[in-house]
Amino acid sequence: MSAKTSPWSNDESLQRILMSDWSVSFTSLYNLLKTKLCPYFYVCTYQFTILFRASGLAGNDVITALMSPTTRGIREAMKNEGIEFSLPLVKESGHEKKKPSGTSLGHGEEQAISDEDEEESFSWLEEMGVQDKIKKPDILSIKLRKEKHEVQMDHRPESVVLVKGTNTFTLLNFLINCKSLIATSGPQAGLPPTLLSPIAFRGATMQMLKARSVNVKTQVVSGYKDQFSLEITGPVMPHSLHAMTRLLGSSQSGSFSAGLYTHEPTAVFNICPPAGKALGKETVREELANCGLHPKTLDQLSQTPVLGKSSLRNVEMSDYLYNWRS
């Protein structure tokens, strides 16, 4: 899309209006999530995607937000805004495990902790009497190595960020005021991020998925047999996939197969986040009764994820029994 066909790309006043309307829509959607009238929604930017989930889903009793992929720059910006988050796929050690992300220490306190860690790291060398033969790394070298490690995981699945509870509201305000959220070039230049939700919200429009059906004849022992194929393209959200499998199960006499193609950067949303107090099935059904999803779909979404960094690739049903591969 060229600048001639996208008047907003170079019109700052129009961009401000679009962003203002988007902020209202985003806030509206978050409030629906908070009041459990919306089960989950996605924020799709040109850099990353965020999955907001209502309390009760994925084995958590608070609102959660998964963000992937991220960079050291965006993580530092979140810390500076006081957003506490964790990196579920990064194994922390030492004092880093005790200090939540998003909190800051004074310069003197940071220095003291660094010095203490260095002394502990070399205490065993003193016992062996070889400490003088080992060159002790300086604080700058340690810091550079740490920064290098943080940059190396940028844009990778390991960079996924988990935000929980009231920090998700702080994240909302951060995103609304984040100028780098909007692309400055390309087909999305000047446009606010896309919001995807299974329910209606302020400023939303309903979009249809594209479907194409094909009928082919396949050779079998007794001759030829009709085989029907349905291809659906677009953002197929989790509740839609579950609804389609239920529909196909009943309409195809309990026998069908489906191939799935995931947007790879979002496959990491299937990780098992550190769970808090998990809510019971009946509690989730009761509290999210008005979110618009089928009770059996809620049962599936409330379970703790088991796929890790992978995603569903194939789902088969035979004699009403499911089998799946990732």
pLDDT for res 83: 97
State the average pLDDT over residues 226-250: 90
Residue at 57: amino acid letter: L
Give the Cβ contact number of residue 285 at 10 Å: 17
Please say if the pLDDT value at position 64 is more than 60: yes
Please say if the pLDDT value at position 43 is more than 90: yes
Q: Provide the pLDDT confidence category of residue 297 given band limits of 50, 70 and 90.
A: very high
What is the rounded CA–CA span in Å between residue 214 and residue 43? 33
SS3 148: helix
Cα separations in angstroms, 317 against 99, 143, 248, 250: 47, 53, 9, 11
Please say if the pLDDT value at position 95 is more than 50: no
Residue at 242: amino acid letter: H
The pair of structure tokens assigned to 212 is 């194409």
Q: Which H or E run includes 66?
A: strand 64-68
What is the rounded CA–CA span in Å between residue 76 and residue 115? 23
pLDDT for res 141: 56
Closest C-alpha to 183, from 173, 174, 191:
191
Cα end-to-end span (Å), the chain: 35
Range name among 66-70, 164-168, 216-220, 319-323 with the lowest pLDDT average: 216-220
Return the exposure string of 209-239: e unless at least 16 CB atoms fall within 10 Å of the residue's CB, then b.
eeeeeeeeeeeeeeeeeeeeeeeeeeeebbb
pLDDT for res 146: 56
pLDDT for res 127: 56
Rounded to the nearest 10 degrees, the angle between the axes of helix 72-80 and helix 167-177 is: 110
Return the exposure string of 159-194: e unless at least 16 CB atoms fall within 10 Å of the residue's CB, then b.
bbbbbbbebbbbbbebbbebeebbbeeeebbbbbbe
What would the 3-class secondary structure string for 57-117 be? Answer: HHHCCCCEEEEECCCHHHHHHHHHCCCCCECCCCCCCCHHHHCCCCCCCCHHHHHHHHHHH
pLDDT for res 13: 86
State the average pLDDT over residues 97-105: 44
Q: Which H or E run includes 27?
A: helix 12-34
pLDDT for res 279: 74
The pair of structure tokens assigned to 240 is 């839609």
State the average pLDDT over residues 164-180: 95
- Note the Cα 271 to chain centre separation in Å: 9
Q: Give me the percent of the chain exceeding a pLDDT of 70.
A: 78
Give the Cβ contact number of residue 13 at 10 Å: 8
Q: Among positive and negative, which fits the CA dihedral 65, 70, 76, 80?
A: negative
When the pLDDT of each residue in the chain is averaged and rounded to a whole number, the result is: 82
Q: Structure pTM?
A: 0.79
The pair of structure tokens assigned to 194 is 């896309």
Please say if the pLDDT value at position 196 is more than 80: yes
Please say if the pLDDT value at position 53 is more than 90: yes
Please say if the pLDDT value at position 131 is more than 60: no
The answer to whether 248 and 317 have CB atoms below 8 angstroms apart is yes
Q: Where in 96-176 does DSSP place strands (E)?
A: 161-164
The answer to whether 104 and 86 have CB atoms below 8 angstroms apart is no
